[in-house]
Amino acid sequence: MVLQRIYRFGQRFVGFMGVFTGVRLVSSHKQKKEFIRSKDLSSQGSVSSSHAFSWLGDIAPCFGINGNNVQIIDEPKHFHEVLKSNARKATQRIVFTSLYLGTGQLEQELVDAIREACHTAKTNGNNNLEVHILLDYNRGSRGAEKSSRTMLTPLLKEYKDIISVHLYHTPDLRGIWKRLLTGRMSEVIGLNHMKIYLFDDSFVISGANLSNDYFTNRQDRYVLFNNCSELSNFFTDLVKTVGSFSFQLKEDNSVELHPQCNIHPFEGSDYEFKLEAKKEFSTF
């Protein structure tokens, strides 16, 4: 009875939040089972724990992973060290998406770790390394002299053939709202809030931004997935897809729309922009 209630609440909650995409993680070393669909669960007297949320598989991509490859990071300082050490060792890809990147010393250490990976790739003749960073346009642009953008422009100057930085701007912040809602107030309309920190075939999913507080004393959730190539490919494609209808940061700290984006997010038609984005995700 309790599991039935949890199951039904989960259905209502996901529907209310408008969650159309998600990931079900199952341990690959376990034998696959045929999951009971949601329409069958309602007719049963009880719902087993293994089947309670199987209905998510009807509306979301599913990936098999080995539970032994999942590691919980327990504190902010460890989170910071994991990001730096994995970034330095990356040889194929570094993919970060966050609300913003802070402007302090600890954030600079992370940028330097990415720079080290790029330098190593250049020195060793490795042409395979790609770095993709996606931030929110408004939050990443905040700051007159120092901002997320100014933290990353030196990297773009040094390794423009390796690094791309994209800034997502919600199409809902436009017109009079864009003129009236400045600074932090603009964030109430919409923003990029994904937190994925990926290195080659491993990645961290977290609620933490890339900033001093989250690296020192602001506790959050951090889960490290090691050697999950299929899921890493999925998240890489996700970040690239959002980047394809975002602004692209240039070496001089100016921005331009991604070449594939034909509709301006806040000067063009918001309906057409959303329709185009929907098409990108439908094929994705």
pLDDT at 185: 80
Of 51, 195, 201, 270, the catalytic one is 195
Helix axes 76-89, 105-123, angle to 10 degrees: 20
- Is residue 25 predicted with pLDDT exceeding 80? no
pLDDT at 178: 82
Instruction: Answer yes or no: are the C-beta atoms of 215 and 225 closer than 8 Å.
Output: no
Helix axes 105-123, 148-158, angle to 10 degrees: 20
pLDDT at 9: 43
Assess whether 195 carries a catalytic annotation.
yes
C-alpha separations of 6 from 49, 52, 55, 83, 87 in Å: 10, 8, 13, 35, 39
Of 136, 200, 201, 270, the catalytic one is 200
Domain assignments of the chain as residue spans, ordered by start? 2-65, 69-283
- Distance CA(3)–CA(281), nearest Å, equals 33
- Is residue 5 predicted with pLDDT exceeding 80? no
Q: What is the mean pLDDT of the chain?
A: 84
- Distance CA(43)–CA(48), nearest Å, equals 13
> What architecture does CATH give domain 69-283?
2-Layer Sandwich (3.30)
- CA-closest candidate to residue 7, choices 15, 236, 279, 70: 15
Of 122, 193, 240, 264, the catalytic one is 193
Q: Which residues pair with 210 in a beta bridge?
A: 101
- Distance CA(73)–CA(81), nearest Å, equals 10
Residues 6+ apart with CB under 8 A from 169: 136, 137, 138, 246, 247, 265, 266
Top-ranked range on mean pLDDT: pick from 16-25, 62-71, 132-141: 132-141
Residues 6+ apart with CB under 8 A from 197: 83, 95, 96, 98, 203, 204, 206, 210
- Is residue 269 predicted with pLDDT exceeding 70? yes
Assess whether 80 carries a catalytic annotation.
no
